[in-house]
Homo-oligomer: A and B are copies of this chain.
Amino acid sequence: MAVPLRIALAGLGTVGGGVIRLLESNADLIARRAGRPVEVVAVSARDRNKDRGFDIGRFAWEDDMSALAARGDVDVVVELVGGSDGPALALGRNALAAGKGLVTANKAMIAHHGMELAQAAEASGAALKFEAAVAGGIPVVKGLREGAAANEIERIYGILNGTCNYILSTMEETGRDFGDVLKDAQELGYAEADPTFDVEGIDAAHKLSILAAIAFGAKIDFASVETEGISRLRAADIEQADALGFVIRLIGIADTETGPSGEETLFQRVCPYLVSRDHPLATVAGATNAVVAEGNYSGRLLFEGAGAGDGPTASAVVADLVDIARGITGAPLGVPADMLQPMPKADAGHRVARDYLRFVVADRPGVLAEITAAMRDAGVSIESLIQKGRPEEGGEVTVSIVTHDGPEANVDRALELLEGSDSLTEAPLVLQLLEN
């Protein structure tokens, strides 16, 4: 039998347990496909004695996670601890410095430190892989980096956060408000006790910044992702969208454009979009993720599957291990890290889009005239407007507007004109339309 690929596993939560289970239950087929067995030899986690429902006694144990990287009997370190810095990053750095492969599901760490880690991997000739960091079990990092490698990618976008998608599709089905559905999602384990990273779009932005780097040959630039979450959405927005033929999804989207001085700039945004009902992303419900890559030769490629969960995430982690066992390493981001371009953030103001604007206003005369005058003065052309009273909410009225195609800057200008108006009882919500 060929020499096994020896794994050290840091983090023994649900995903870590999934990886151990997978490597055992599918051991024979993995050995056939990898050309050699893939075996866990050492593990580490915060608490050695926690009851995990599986036996870790057969693995070597390290109290100090970072010591996994120093073990002579380990080829690849699998990091499933989480957190952009701290022990995860220390372990990752140590592993690569020691020339060991690093496989991680840690999107925050790659979004923040992926450039440094990729350079370290390339310097030491070690593999760095993170399929599980983006869209769970969907092999979209591989699909983009290798499957679409012949293409100039024109745009990449998708549903990258299962928690948000679960909340939005549940709001859609039940007509309930965000807060309600979130509470249920927390009870069901679909959302964390502190849901900020998910519902404010930060998790999706981590993933988007990784995909954008691969797609466009740009340095990972998480800080430049414009991010807006779903916590301000109301049942009324979903209802309005529905009436217009749309569903609302949290979409991460990225493309490039030529900036004012001729330089290539990078546009990255995570935001709820009104997705037209005939678009393939509109039928993506529950905790499913889906990513669309538009290549200049391939046309539109869609990758869809489970965005989270121990099984799917373990599937992605082990796919990376099989690649490493087969000797498939290569540049983690598709081209050597030093060849990735530093791309300035694109100015979104001149981008042309149809928008959905929602105002919550006091129920009194003249409010509509004030809003429409601001639109007119800013050069925003209105396609449709619906005003709806919500008597149960103390005289509050929602005004929903869909604009014609126009520059984003005009909409921004209209909102500026309305800033401070005491007709508006909360800040306006602006969503864009994603059409098929």
> Which residues of A are interface residues toward B (Cβ below 8 A)?
18, 22, 25-26, 29-30, 32-35, 131, 137-139, 142-143, 146-152, 217, 278, 280, 283, 290, 295-306, 309, 311-312, 314-319, 321-323, 326, 328, 330-331, 334-335, 339
Known: A142-B147, A143-B143. A298 touches B315 (CB 8 A): yes
User: Assuming the A-B contacts A297-B22, A301-B305, A305-B300, are A30 and B311 also in contact, with contact meaning beta carbons closer than 8 angstroms in the complex?
Assistant: no
Contact B297 A311 (CB under 8 A): yes
Provide 16 A-B residue pairs closer than 8 Å at the C-beta atoms, listed in order of the A residue: A26-B152, A26-B297, A30-B150, A32-B217, A35-B331, A137-B301, A139-B147, A143-B143, A143-B147, A146-B319, A280-B283, A297-B311, A298-B305, A298-B311, A299-B311, A300-B305
A32, A146, A296, A298 interface centre (most CB from chain B within 10 Å): A298
Q: A26-B152, A30-B149, A139-B148 are in contact. List 15 more A-B contacts (CB 8 A).
A: A18-B297, A22-B297, A25-B296, A30-B150, A32-B217, A138-B147, A280-B283, A280-B304, A295-B315, A297-B315, A298-B305, A298-B315, A300-B305, A303-B303, A328-B330
Instruction: Please indicate the chain B residues that have their CB under 8 angstroms from the CB of A217 in the complex.
Output: 29, 32
CB-CB < 8 A to A330: which residues of B? 326, 328
Q: Which residues of B contact A35 (CB under 8 A)?
A: 331
The residue from B18, B32, B143 contacting A142, defined by CB atoms under 8 A apart: B143
User: Of B151, B297, B305, B326, which is within 8 A of A299 by CB?
Assistant: B305
Q: Chain B residue with minimal CB distance to A313?
A: B297
Q: With A297-B137, A299-B306, A305-B298 in contact, do A26 and B322 touch (Cβ < 8 Å)?
A: no
A133 to chain B, nearest CB (A): 14
The docked-state distance in angstroms from the alpha carbon of A280 to that of B151 is 26
Task: Using A146-B323, A149-B322, A335-B33 as known contacts, say yes or no to A305 and B305 having CB atoms under 8 A apart.
Answer: no
CB pair A138–B301 under 8 Å, yes or no, is yes
In the bound complex, CA of A34 to CA of B149 (Å): 8
Complex contact B298–A33 (CB within 8 A)? no
Min CB distance, A118 to chain B, in Å? 14
Cβ–Cβ contact A139 & B315, under 8 A: no
The 6 closest A-B pairs by CB, nearest first: A139-B147, A150-B318, A298-B315, A302-B304, A297-B315, A137-B298
Residues of B contacting A30 in the complex (Cβ-Cβ under 8 angstroms): 149-150
Is the CB–CB distance between A312 and B297 below 8 Å?
A: yes
| Alpha-carbon gap, A202 to B149, bound state (A) | 30
Residues of B within 8 A of A26 (CB): 150-152, 296-297
Min distance, Cβ A286 to any Cβ of chain B, angstroms:
11
Which chain B positions have C-beta within 8 A of A290?
Answer: 302
Chain B residues with CB under 8 Å of A318's CB are 149-150, 297
* A146-B319, A146-B323, A283-B283 known; A300+B306 contact, CB < 8 A: yes
Q: How far is the CA of A139 from the CA of B299 in the complex (A)?
A: 12
Give chain B residues whose Cβ lies under 8 Å from the Cβ of A328. Answer: 146, 328, 330
A304 and B301 contact, Cβ closer than 8 Å, known pairs A33-B149, A147-B143, A295-B315? yes
The CA-CA distance from A278 to B25 in the complex, in Å, is 32
* Complex Cα gap A335–B2 (Å): 14
B residues near A151, Cβ cutoff 8 Å = 26, 315
Name the B residues within 8 Å of A32 (CB-CB): 217, 335, 339
A202 CB → nearest B CB, Å: 25
- Whether the Cβ atoms of B142 and A146 lie closer than 8 Å is yes
Q: A217-B32, A322-B146, A322-B150 are in contact. Are A312 and B298 (CB under 8 A)?
A: yes
Distance of A295 Cα from B283 Cα, bound (Å): 21
- Identity of the chain B residue whose Cβ is nearest the Cβ of A21 in the assembled complex: B297
CA distance A311 to B150 in the complex (A): 10
List B contacts of A335 (CB < 8 A): 32-33
B146 in contact with A139 (CB, 8 Å): yes
Residue contact B143 to A29, C-beta cutoff 8 Å:
no
Of A138, A139, A302, A321, chain B has the most CB atoms within 10 Å of the CB of A139
